[in-house]
Amino acid sequence: MPLDFESIYAAGKFTDLRIPRPRRAKYDFAVAYADPGSLPHADIVESLEEALTEYGSELAIYTHLQGNTKLREYLVERLLNNRDINVTVDDIILGNGSAETIDMICDILLDPNDVVLTDQWVYGGTLKTLKKKFVDIRGIESDEEGMIPELLEYEIKKAIDQDNKPKLLYLIPTFQNPQGFTITLARRKEILKITNKYGIPILEDDCYADNRYEGNQVTSFFNLDSEDSVIYVGSFSKIIGPGMALGYMTAPSTVLDKIMGVKRGRISDFTAMAVERYANKFLDTHIVKINHIQKMRRDAMVSALGENFGTSAKWSNPDGGLYIWVEFPKGTDVQALVIKSLDQINAGFHPGTDYSPDPSKGHNFMRLCYGYNDTEDISVGISKLAEFLSKEEII
Amino acid sequence: MPLDFESIYAAGKFTDLRIPRPRRAKYDFAVAYADPGSLPHADIVESLEEALTEYGSELAIYTHLQGNTKLREYLVERLLNNRDINVTVDDIILGNGSAETIDMICDILLDPNDVVLTDQWVYGGTLKTLKKKFVDIRGIESDEEGMIPELLEYEIKKAIDQDNKPKLLYLIPTFQNPQGFTITLARRKEILKITNKYGIPILEDDCYADNRYEGNQVTSFFNLDSEDSVIYVGSFSKIIGPGMALGYMTAPSTVLDKIMGVKRGRISDFTAMAVERYANKFLDTHIVKINHIQKMRRDAMVSALGENFGTSAKWSNPDGGLYIWVEFPKGTDVQALVIKSLDQINAGFHPGTDYSPDPSKGHNFMRLCYGYNDTEDISVGISKLAEFLSKEEII
């Protein structure tokens, strides 16, 4: 008789989750992928060989539990130069993408039913992670400057009145996924004033900060905060490629201590060595190159939307990042069309429901990613998508 | 005023754990490192380039949540050929070393105070992981054939009488770390008969099975079990290098579903691509080579122990793996000498206390790893260690 594992699992709540890789389309506007043609294979291999020659014997030993030290040294400099973040090598922990770091942060902070504040539309990966913790996720509306401070304070007070003070405010302040806005400096200060007043930490997910191709950089929440209340995560997925699965975090010291208590296993030093040397030699130039490509693709998609989507839909036009957020008329439902679109026109998109803490919302929204396809495929794909949506009476 | 994170952490128990990398010695008999001279840098880079040429564009997309599919396909074949394990690609999950997989398995199975059965002396990494779960770890004595079945059944009955039926039996059946024995086929069957009788799953940590340089392979518990009660983990750390940080697991389907529910982030596809291609082309030959080296080093260490350690100490002589387990007279304490040995003779070792579920035990034991230093350094290092221990009146 097979052993009955169900009777011996730990008491905590779990989500069973073994799912196939998502189906991919020719016009792949769904998952946030990078441009495959810009992957710097040759430079990365060259960098790896250089790193192996210099300190490759270290592959015979167990790396630092927080991850490759040279890469963390590089990040110390990068964070200071680009995000005004002043930390030491001991303050940085590498992760399997930013996903691992966000999951660990949730694990040390959140119990089931805790209140977590997010944007009204939230990055789907973090949303899944939060749902796996069975927390009470409350989305807050934003305008073009970011989350609206009055609504933030209202939600905090409401939760406190319910004797359930929010445990965390999760933000992607720069090129918010999926909406695309960047929170202005003034708005960042207003938000911080409120979270500091109530003693609520911010999780700043900054994985798109380098993907800016217009406008000026806004400094990080981590820099603006004077009360050690911001936990910061970043990633190489959007500036090298998701396949490196390399992210990082920094936070107040007590948080880092706790994080290392829940961290499982080490990050590949083989990947970290390649990325360390590549980043030191090539990354800044590479970012200029991919931002140029992404800008062209954004322009192609915005222009294709203008030509094909008519006046019943509205969409964002972001200064960076990888996404356009499309709103269709109230009452329409694009979630129901995901598979049909793959089948009929070979085009993929994410429905707004993937980004909504409230499962009843988001049916009339769509996220389009312009990172993967070239401008020609973007034009053709958006035109096909428009025709398809029109036939389905969405637009 | 800094935010008081202490007041908002989740309710579960945590172990704060941000520790420096361990101090390393010239005669490094402490941590289980591989031979740095045998690292196959050139072949791995060649393999990586080949994999990148063939499917490197996949680095632009998110890999399968269970890890690189081609590497999992390779593991399906390898597990069948080498360990008589018959599973499909869907049944394999990659991890950051076996450490991540063991940690996840503990997370889905164990609540604080649950009873976990282990050997009397247990791999320190797993012991740390179990301690972080605040479980009740009960070590069981072994003879040269492995864990003693009567004592196993006695401990199970005792725990059941205490209304705390053991949740898990953790074993390294082949080249047990630190003791070096391999559980015989007959003993494996006896152990399984008992765990099946009481409905207790086995976690089979098989990370040394390929490091055999004498004697015949014994089939896996996973293969012998007919009740879907064995969870199996393996690793590339001891056959390529710890720096790859690449492990894997397979288990009954329900367990894999739960594991994917607690998995955080993806394993580097960059590392997985390199390992997949390297493993297909070079790994079997490489294992023959490193086993030859390890055999010479074991011989050098056993012979140096015989020449220098006299008759008051006893030590193992394993057919594989990387360790020799040394017992000193009762009442002696080598734990107290770890730092002194580093300072005075530049030699590292692990005290037996690192391997004992009971913190009051193991002071008169020492684990010596012969993987890292060459035979000459092993001879010199063991001679220095003997002189040091003699001066300290241990031998």
Q: Give the per-residue pLDDT at B31.
A: 84
A304/B181 Cα distance (integer angstroms): 68
Residue A348 domain-assigned? Answer: yes
- Within this chain, do residues A184 and A308 fall inside the same structural domain, yes or no? no
Shortest alpha-carbon distance between residue A332 and chain B (Å): 30
- Within this chain, do residues B224 and B353 fall inside the same structural domain, yes or no? no
Q: What is the pLDDT of residues A367-392, one digit of tens each?
A: 999 999 999 999 999 999 999 999 99
Task: Please answer yes or no on whether A268 and B269 come within 8 Å at the CB atom.
Answer: no
Q: Give the per-residue pLDDT at B184.
A: 98
> Mean per-residue pLDDT for A288-299?
96
Which structure tokens are listed for A50? Answer: 């250089």
Residue A50 domain-assigned? Answer: no
Q: By the CB < 8 Å criterion, does A339 face chain B?
A: no
Task: Please answer yes or no on whether A60 and B39 come within 8 Å at the CB atom.
Answer: yes
Task: Please answer yes or no on whether B245 and A270 come within 8 Å at the CB atom.
Answer: yes
Percentage with pLDDT > 70 across chain A? 100
> Mean per-residue pLDDT for A216-227?
97
Q: Give the per-residue pLDDT at B32.
A: 82
Shortest alpha-carbon distance between residue B228 and chain A (Å): 5
Q: Give the per-residue pLDDT at A60.
A: 86
**Which of B44, B63, B258 is closest, CB to CB, to A14?**
B258
Domain boundary residue, one of A228, A256, A282: A282
Q: What is the pLDDT of residues B313-367, one digit of tens each?
A: 999 999 999 999 999 999 999 999 999 999 999 999 999 999 999 989 999 999 9
Residue A51 domain-assigned? Answer: no
- Within this chain, do residues A270 and A343 fall inside the same structural domain, yes or no? no
Q: What is the pLDDT of residues A357-366, one digit of tens each?
A: 998 999 999 9
Which structure tokens are listed for A99? Answer: 């996903």
| Cα torsion through B270, B271, B275, B277, rounded to 10 | 10
Amino acid at position B326, single letter: V
- Within this chain, do residues A348 and A323 fall inside the same structural domain, yes or no? yes
- Is residue B14's pLDDT more than 80? no
Residue B80 domain-assigned? Answer: yes
CATH of the domain at B97: 3.40.640.10
Residue of A387, A382, A352 lying closest to A370 (CA atoms): A382
Percentage with pLDDT > 90 across chain B? 90
User: Which domain does A320 fall in, by range?
Assistant: 5-40+285-391
Report yes or no: B121 and B139 within 8 Å, Cβ to Cβ: yes
- Is residue B34's pLDDT more than 90? no
- Within this chain, do residues A278 and A350 fall inside the same structural domain, yes or no? no
CATH of the domain at B299: 3.90.1150.10
- Within this chain, do residues A69 and A145 fall inside the same structural domain, yes or no? yes
**Cβ within 8 Å of B, A 74-133:** 90, 95-97, 99-100, 103-104, 107-111, 114, 132
- Is residue B15's pLDDT more than 80? no
Domain boundary residue, one of B215, B249, B282: B282
Residue B50 domain-assigned? Answer: no
Chain A environment of B14 (Cβ under 8 Å): 108, 258, 261-262
- Within this chain, do residues A219 and A233 fall inside the same structural domain, yes or no? yes
Q: Give the per-residue pLDDT at B8.
A: 87
Q: Give the per-residue pLDDT at A359.
A: 87
Q: What is the pLDDT of residues A4-36, one digit of tens each?
A: 998 889 887 777 777 777 888 999 999 888 788
- Within this chain, do residues A307 and A271 fall inside the same structural domain, yes or no? no
Q: Give the per-residue pLDDT at B321.
A: 95
Chain B environment of A266 (Cβ under 8 Å): 96-97, 99, 242, 245
Task: Kindly report the average pLDDT of chain B as a whole number.
Answer: 95
- Is residue B89's pLDDT more than 90? yes
Q: Give the per-residue pLDDT at A15.
A: 76
Report yes or no: A374 and A28 within 8 Å, Cβ to Cβ: no
- Within this chain, do residues A234 and A314 fall inside the same structural domain, yes or no? no
State the total domains in chain A.
Answer: 2
Residue B168 domain-assigned? Answer: yes
A375/B58 Cα distance (integer angstroms): 20
pLDDT level of residue B60 (50, 70, 90 thresholds): confident
Residue A48 domain-assigned? Answer: no
CA distances from A62 to A70, A200, A270, B106, B275 (A): 14, 37, 11, 22, 17
Task: Please answer yes or no on whether B243 and A48 come within 8 Å at the CB atom.
Answer: no
Task: Please answer yes or no on whether A49 and B45 come within 8 Å at the CB atom.
Answer: yes
Shortest CA distance from B22: residue in chain A: A64
- Within this chain, do residues A165 and A265 fall inside the same structural domain, yes or no? yes
Q: By the CB < 8 Å criterion, does B339 face chain A?
A: no
- Within this chain, do residues A105 and A83 fall inside the same structural domain, yes or no? yes
pLDDT level of residue A96 (50, 70, 90 thresholds): very high
- Within this chain, do residues A121 and A96 fall inside the same structural domain, yes or no? yes
Q: What is the pLDDT of residues B221-250, one digit of tens each?
A: 999 999 999 999 999 999 999 999 999 999
- Is residue B19's pLDDT more than 80? no
Q: What is the pLDDT of residues B127-140, one digit of tens each?
A: 999 999 999 999 99
- Burial B94-108, CB ≥16 within 10 A → b, else e: bbbbbbbbbbbbbbb
- Burial A359-393, CB ≥16 within 10 A → b, else e: eeebbbbbbbbbbbbebebbbbbbbbbbebbeebe
Task: Kindly report the average pLDDT of chain A as a whole number.
Answer: 95
Q: What is the pLDDT of residues A38-61, one digit of tens each?
A: 899 999 999 999 999 999 998 888
- Is residue A62's pLDDT more than 90? no
Domain boundary residue, one of B264, B282, B300: B282
Residue A45 domain-assigned? Answer: no
